[in-house]
Amino acid sequence: MIKYFTQEGHHKLKEELKIYLERRSQIARRIEEAKALGDLSENADYIKSKEEQAFNEGKIREIENMLTSAELIKENGDNCVIGMNSSVKFKDKEGKIYEYKIVGSGESDPLSGRISYETPLGKQFLGKKVGDAIEVNIPSGKKVYKIMEIN
């Protein structure tokens, strides 16, 4: 499955992979040290290190798979229409202003102002222009937003 990333998100993912690859040798060293202590069945350091190794290897595989299927989102040169990698400023009927960047699901972080194009809100924004209103179904009902700015 293709995962979409901004250049920044792709770079962060590569940096995260480097950290897990560096941990790989540290964990292997701890396992060897624990083996040298003897009886492995009751060796808490050995057991803990093996669990950490399994988790670390899983993260490496997960990130490598994401990078293999990653497609970079190009900067949106058209500030007239919302697309992937667009920053959108919008407001609700009460006048509360919000701002989000439309990104791929692999780097979505609503608390940091980054929403996936696959979310109900993200889907509604794609292809819209300044001045357009969108309607989104949320658990408490329908919410209407008016697009104020696109970057």
Query: Is the confidence at residue 96, as pLDDT, over 90?
Result: yes
Per-residue model confidence (pLDDT) at position 109: 92
| Domains recognised in the chain with CATH numbers | 3-72 (1.10.287.180), 87-150 (3.10.50.30)
pLDDT per position as a tens digit, 34-80: 888 777 777 788 889 999 999 999 999 999 998 988 877 766 555 67
Inter-CA distances, 121 with 5, 32, 80, Å: 18, 50, 18
Report d(CA 120, CA 142) in Å as an integer.
Answer: 11
> 58 is written with which tokens?
């899983």
Per-residue model confidence (pLDDT) at position 75: 62
pLDDT per position as a tens digit, 117-151: 989 999 999 989 999 999 998 888 899 999 999 98
